[in-house]
Amino acid sequence: MAKACFVLLADTDTHEAMGRMVNALTSAKEFVDAGDEAVIVFDGAGTRWVPELESEDHRYHRLYADLLDHIAGACSYCATAFGVKDKIEASQVMLLSDYRGHPSLHTFVADGYQVITF
pLDDT band at 48 (very low <50, low <70, confident <90, very high): very high
Among the listed residues 105, 103, 81, the one whose alpha carbon sits nearest the alpha carbon of residue 93: 103
Averaged pLDDT, 57-71: 98
pLDDT on residue 85: 98
Cite the DSSP H helix spans in 11-70: 15-33, 49-54, 61-66
Averaged pLDDT, 46-52: 98
Averaged pLDDT, 67-84: 98
pTM over 0.85: yes
- 5-24 per-position pLDDT tens digit: 999 999 999 999 999 999 99
Give me the phi and psi of 87, to 5 degrees please. -70, -35
pLDDT on residue 91: 98
- State the Cα–Cα distance between residues 29 and 44, nearest whole angstrom: 22
Among the listed residues 5, 8, 59, the one whose alpha carbon sits nearest the alpha carbon of residue 32: 5
Instruction: Enumerate the domain spans of the chain.
Output: 3-117
pLDDT band at 27 (very low <50, low <70, confident <90, very high): very high
- State the Cα–Cα distance between residues 15 and 118, nearest whole angstrom: 14
pLDDT band at 59 (very low <50, low <70, confident <90, very high): very high
Superfamily of domain 3-117 in CATH is DsrEFH-like (3.40.1260.10)
